[in-house]
Structure 1
Amino acid sequence: MELIVKALDAKKGKDISVLKTEEVTILADYFIICTANSSTHIKTLTDEASKAMADKGEPPIRTEGYRNGGWVLLDFGAIVVHLFLNEMRNFYDLERLWSDAAKTDISYLTTE
């Protein structure tokens, strides 16, 4: 999880949020949610997170939405990464949807 957060932060991902979801769903242990400035920025963030994990021997199991550009989902098994344009993030509001999940402090990992 830390490796992905650092990769997103290094490429200027905004409002990075980590939800510990293992207590509320079997889908993943963590959801990482991040906002991008543009569809090009989403692709950059996707590529950086994928590369960081692939270099560790854990490439994404599945990537969805890469060509659409408004919301990309990276599935690493225990970690699911959601990369959004701002308006899409506000519309889907995953933090509210998964409000029963504990928010993880990542302030020590980011430059924001």
Structure 2
Amino acid sequence: MQNKPKYNLFKNWKYAIDGLITAVKTESSFRLELFCAIFIIAGIIFVDTSLTNKLILLITGILVLIVELINSAIENVVDLCTKEIHPLAKNAKDIGSTAVMFTISLHAVCWIALLI
């Protein structure tokens, strides 16, 4: 593959930071979820529960952000491949959105189970 650079820890770290900056600048869903994460982390700190429960809430909260980033990457690749409305392009985007929805639902269920 011609466009694959040699592995370099510092360059790869820079690519990851560039991706995060791009996501914050261009993806409104990611910005919203990142904003909500501030309050979620505060809630995790102040909720009176075990460390294990707090870690479960933190991990599922971070998982929401990870899946949103993957969904955004899928949407960008689909948009790169075609600007036309195509059933497979729609399916790819819808399936990515479903993954985000399931992850948010998992996080919400963890909060509900903890609070009950």
When Rg is computed on C-alpha atoms for both structures, the one with the higher figure is 2
- Answer 1 or 2: which has greater strand percent: 1
TM range, normalised to the smaller chain?
under 0.3
- Structure 1 length as normaliser, TM-score? 0.27
- Answer 1 or 2: which has greater helix percent: 2
Higher relative contact order (CA 8 A, sep 6+): 1
